[in-house]
Each structure stands twice: as C-alpha cells, then as structure tokens.
Amino acid sequence: MSALRFSDTISAALADGILVVTIDNAPVNALSADVRAGLMAALDHAEKDGGVKSIVLTGAGNSFIGGADIKEFGKPPVEPHLPDVIARIEAFAKPVAASINGAALGGGLEVALACHRRHAVPSAKIGLPEVKLGIVPGAGGTQRLPRLIGVSAAIDMIAGARIISASEALKLGIVDGVSESALLADAMADIKGLDASSLRRTGALSVPAAPIETIEKTAADALRKARGQNAPTEAVRLVCLAATTPLAEGLAEERRTFIMLRDSEEAAALRHVFFAERAAGKVDGLEAVTPRRIETVGIVGTGLMGSGIAVSALNGGYRIIGVEQNIEAAEKGRERIAGLLDKAVQSGRLDTAGREDRLGRLSVTADMQQLAQADIVIEAVFDDLTVKTELFQRLDTIIRADAILATNTSYLDPDVIAAATARPERVVGLHFFSPAHIMRLLEVVDCKETAPDVLASALAFAKRLGKLPIVSGVTEGFIGNRIFSAYRREAEYMVEDGALPQEIDAALEAYGFPMGPFAVFDMAGLEIAWARRKRQAATRDPSERYVVIADRLCEAGRFGQKTGRGWYAYPEGKRTVDPEVTGMIEAARAKKGIVPKRFTAEEIVAGLLKAMVDEGDALLSEGIAARASDIDLVMINGYGFPSSKGGPMFAAGRR
C-alpha cells in the first residue's frame, strides 16, 4: 500500500487496485477549495495510473463530508467549482464509490450521489438541508436525488431539510448497502471487479413516474412548514423540473437559483443563525472545566412546566425523580408525564418501546428525601420568592454536597434564592420555555456565585437534552423576557400614539412573526402581567410613561383568549377586531390629550425592532448577554422572531 497526497486535505492509498481517497478537513470535512482541488488531483492521478482500477472516497473522523464550506459563501468563488468536481466523478471512466462513514450532508451527499456505488455506516446522517441556510442544493442534489428516489421523496427531503438515517436511505435507494462493522472493506469488496461499462450513473437515470396528487401533497406539506421562505419553494420547483428537463438544463437552472439565493438577505440571515447556534453555550475559560457527572435528575413540581422538563430529561436518557407535595399530586404528576409520552407515541415521534423505557426511568414521589440520590435537582414550583427560598433551604439539607440545585424561575432573582442556601456556588438557573419538552431554547443563568463546573455541568446537561442553551447573567426576566418587555412597552406606546393593535400585529406578521404581539398577549393571558404591574405600582417612577389600556382591558374582565375577549374578541375562537377595544384605546388617548398619528407597517417594524435592539445593547453593555448573536437566538427560538431575518440584532445591522 503506497501513500499519496494530493493537497493539504486529500490523501490516498492504493490497495489491490483500489485508490482509497480520504478527505481530512476537520471538523466536518467541508468541501473547501483545497478539498475540491485535491479531489481533482486525485482523479487526474487515477485517470493516468493504469494500476488504479477503481476509487473509493471516504472521510476522516466522524464525517463523510458535512457539505460545501459555508465560510466560503460571500467570498469570491475559487476554482475548481463543486459542480465540476461532481460532474467529473459521475462521468469518470473507472468505478467510483462513496464509503459514507458519517454525515453526508449538502454538497457531501451531492458528491456521494455522483458516485457509482454508495455504502454507509448505520450512524450516518444523510440529507440535503440547504434550505435551512436559505439556499437550494447547488451541485446537482435537486436533479440527481429525484432520479434515484422519485420526485415526492426528494421534495420531502430537500424542501423539508429532512436528515435521514442510513437504514432509511437504504430503503429509499439512496445507498446500496449499510455496513455494520467494516464499512471501507465492504465498499472496496463491492466495487472490486465492477465493470466500467455497466456503471449506474445517477444523472443518466430517468425520474420514476409518480401520481401528481402525491407530489402536490408532499410539496404542500413541506411549504406549509416553510412559512413563506423562498428556498423551499425554489427547491420544490427544481425537483419537479428534474422530471421534465434533461440533466444539463436542470443543473444549469439549479446553479442559477443557488447563486441567486446564496447572495440573498434571507440566506445571509440563516447563515448567521447557523454560526450563532454553534457559538451559543460556549463560555470563555470554560473549555478546560470538567462538568460534574449527571445521571439522576430530581424535579420538584410536576405541573405543566415540571412535567415538560421531566419528559425532556427522560428523552435525554436520565433517570427522573419527580417530587410532589402529597401522594395524590404525585400520582397526578406521573399521569401527566405519561400522558405527554402517550401523545409522542400517537404523533409517531416515539415508539412504544421508547415509552416503556422512559417510564422505567421515572418515579414520582411525595418523599423529598428521595432526592438524596439526585445529581441535580430542578425546581419547577410556583414562581414566588418565599416558596422558592424555603424550598431551596430544605433541598440544601437533603441533597448530596456535590449535587447541583437549579431554579426554573422566570422573573425572580436567583441570587436571592441562592443566598438562602449554605452553598450558593452550586446554584444555577435553568429557565425552560413552555412547553419544556418541545421548546429548544433554554436560558442557563450564571448566578453571582455559580461555580464554573456547575455552569459547565448545566450546559452539558442542556446539550444532552437536545436544547439550545444560551447563557444569561442575572437580570429581571433574563435575556428573553427583558427584551420582550421592551417590545411590549414599545407596542403599547405605539397604540397610545395612534396605531391599532391589529395594525401592529399585521405588520409584524407580514415581517415573518407567526403572531403579532397583541395576539400573543391574548394567547398567553393578560392577568399575570396585570398582577405584576399592580405589584410594581407603588415603586414605579411617576414621571415614567405608563399606558393604562391593558389595565382597562383587565378591569373589564378581558383577560385574553381564554375568556373569549382581550385585545381582540374571539367569537367561535376566531381572532376578530373589537370596536369596544378601539373605543377604550381612543378614550385613553383622549384622556392624555394625544392626537393619534398614522404608522406605516415599515414604521411599526422599525420602531419595535429599535426597542428590541436598544434593550439588547443594554444587555450586552451590562454583561448579561455574552454576544449579540445569543440575543438573536433567544428571540428566534423563544419569541417567534423570524429566523429568515436573523434575529433583531442581526436585522438591525442590515437595515
């Protein structure tokens, strides 16, 4: 076996007439210019060397190829271009196989699709998730995948950005084999002796026929989830084109669309989100800190929030001890958690074996002493300072000295809760968003005394739950609710100044929010914020601007959707403008002598964006948030800010 090197990232070895070409471009073997040039050089070599009968492509480490190098987007393109490398592989006179040893995503799968044979490890992740970056596959994915698996399945994968397992890829016909133990040997055995004249070249296949209704339904499903973003729509169009257009024409149209989308604002925003997610949860100086071992999780309170947290932790593979005040409440809590698991089974997200496995790891008890076994205890009880401090004092005497205490408070000061314990350094905030088993966002609150290894443990725990952890310092409402409060305040100022709630909601919904602020207030209920305002009334600065309209709504019993009336009326559940509310708004303006002015949709969006950004800047300067991109992720994942706009901080920078 002789070793060859074709570039910094591409090496090869010849064994038994097979040139095994390895892509080694850590961390994910992305298709950088050096990788593309190295692959071309390896093909040159294989073409000329009579000793090379066939080629196997594989990746070093845990990835086959993670895709095009996203960091190169936005920079001047460098030859050779990926479509040219891929076209050359497909047309190559000698057999080329892909030995898919891990993620084959985006351009990575496009390389594999052009190979003549494909084998994968069972853990391989296979997909064309480009639409998540606001683009379509740009190196043949939309044209070759439907030739292999049909238009409908290709739309489902590409427009839905669905990443599938090796076994599903085998069923669909994307890979030719799944290797349990010896992938490379299997791929080599498979290709050895393959006759060049009988190679199956994906681009030469015709697209299997399928009923138009099936295609239309898959497309409609995918586009509904895409909420008006451009890339999924274009992906559907391009995949359909594959069925009616020769390969070369389809590829040209795909490339043109890819370049147009790659250079769009939407793609820039989604790339920002991609890198923001990778940066999230990274804390300077914490890399070298070893997290504590967490296997058993105690959860005090198994109501709506606690049961969601329990399901999330069960999904993460932990053993759960739920604690309630008495046996009846414990039984109810257990039923609630089991009910959530049942729902997951009904919707196909979980199989019955998974449900049984989770229930086997769950106990719910009225005996708090059981928490002596826990490595971390999360409280999810009523958000009241006395309740929480007393609970923490009690827990402090029950749990092991090295166990962690986490509070799920939304608005209370966790430093005060921590100070009530003998070991405040083991206290951390875990602010879950409801429903906790569904929402990805988790604010990890680094309290004044939190020890570095406790913070590192909380972050590792969050990752194992599959959450997106964002570290926040201590401030009222943490990152998300503080920005949301500023947003709410500004929206109410605008109403007082002349915009109507429905105009504000319409502007925000057209911008990309699933719901405008007033519809959200009605959905969440107006009474909690009202109670808070009443508590704060005595200490409020009288010179501060205060809008009374929400108070008037509550005084009139309009607490939102659940009472059928709030900022809107809800006859038969349908959000409807209520002239009574308009009257209350006009009366409040008149009382202050405000002459209403008109707001355009653009002014509404700009004003609310500015309020969010000003608050975001304050959070950054106070050191509560570490990076602007963390603020963007909080608003996108917790408050419905459209990801296609990149979050408020990013969007403001683009305006």
Q: Please identify, using beta-carbon distances, which residue of 103 and 611 lies nearer to ligand 3HC.
A: 103
Shortest separation between residue 614's beta carbon and ligand 3HC, angstroms: 29
Answer whether 520's CB lies under 8 Å from 625's CB. Answer: no
Smallest distance, ligand 3HC to C-beta of residue 311, A: 23
DSSP-derived secondary structure letter, 469: E
Q: Work out how close the CB of 140 gets to ligand 3HC at its nearest, in angstroms, rounded to a whole number.
A: 8
- Spell out the long-range contacts of 226-229 with Cβ–Cβ below 8 A and sequence spacing 24 or more: 226/131, 226/159, 227/512, 227/514, 227/642, 228/512, 229/131, 229/134, 229/266, 229/644
Q: Measured from the CB atom, is 35 or 406 closer to ligand 3HC? A: 35
Count of CA atoms in the C-beta half-sphere (13 A) of 627:
18
Scanning 115-246, the segments in alpha helix (DSSP H) are 141-149, 151-159, 166-172, 183-191, 212-226, 230-242
Does the active-site annotation cover 249? no
The least distance separating ligand 3HC from the CB of residue 105, rounded to whole angstroms, comes to 4
Residue 342: count of CB within 10 angstroms of its CB: 14
Closest distance to ligand 3HC from the beta carbon of 252 (Å): 15
By CB atoms closer than 10 A (0-12, 13-18, 19+), residue 585 is buried
Least distance from ligand 3HC to the Cβ atom of residue 25, Å: 9
Instruction: Report the alpha-carbon distance of residue 603 to residue 584 in Å, rounded.
Output: 23
Our CB check for ligand 3HC shows the closer of 238 and 491 to be 238
The DSSP output letter for 205 is S
In this structure, are residues 23 and 9 in contact, taking their beta carbons and an 8 Å threshold? yes
Give me 648's structure tokens.
């408020």
CB nearer ligand 3HC, residue 116 or residue 125: 125
Q: Which of 47, 79, 130, 234 is catalytic?
A: 130
Least distance to ligand 3HC, CB of residue 82, Å: 6
Residue 25 structure tokens: 């471009």
Residue with smaller CB distance to ligand 3HC, 125 or 388: 125
**Shortest distance, position 132 Cβ to ligand 3HC, whole Å:** 6
DSSP string, 211-274: -HHHHHHHHHHHHHHHTT-HHHHHHHHHHHHHTTS-HHHHHHHHHHHHHHHHTSHHHHHHHHHH
Task: Respond yes or no: is residue 555 known to be catalytic.
Answer: no
User: What is the SS3 assignment for 301-339?
Assistant: CCCHHHHHHHHHHHHCCCEEEEECCCHHHHHHHHHHHHH
Q: How many CB atoms lie within 10 A of CB 155?
A: 29
Give the burial class of 545: count Cβ atoms within 10 A of its Cβ; 0-12 exposed, 13-18 middle, 19 or more buried. Answer: exposed
| CB contact at 8 A, 312 and 436 | yes
Joined together, the tokens standing for residue 121 give 């490890």
Residue (63 or 179) nearer to ligand 3HC, CB: 63
Q: Please identify, using beta-carbon distances, which residue of 77 and 583 lies nearer to ligand 3HC.
A: 77
Round to whole Å and give the CA distance between 460 and 404: 13
Q: Judged by CB, which is closer to ligand 3HC: 65, or 340? A: 65
Rounded to whole angstroms, how far apart are CA atoms 617 and 637? Answer: 19
Kindly tell me which of 110 and 176 has the beta carbon lying closer to ligand 3HC. Answer: 110
Identify the active-site residue in 110, 234, 324, 503: 110
Helix (H) or strand (E) holding 99: strand 96-100
Residue 115: CB minimum distance to ligand 3HC, A: 16
Length of the chain: 655
Nearest to ligand 3HC of 103, 153 (CB atom): 103
Q: Which residues bind ligand 3HC (CB under 6 A)?
A: 27-28, 30, 63, 66-71, 82, 103, 105-107, 110, 125, 129-130, 133, 137-139, 141, 275, 278
Helix (H) or strand (E) holding 114: helix 107-114
Work out how close the CB of 275 gets to ligand 3HC at its nearest, in angstroms, rounded to a whole number: 6
Q: How far apart, in whole angstroms, are the C-alpha atoms of residue 266 and residue 253? A: 20
Residues noted as catalytic:
110, 130
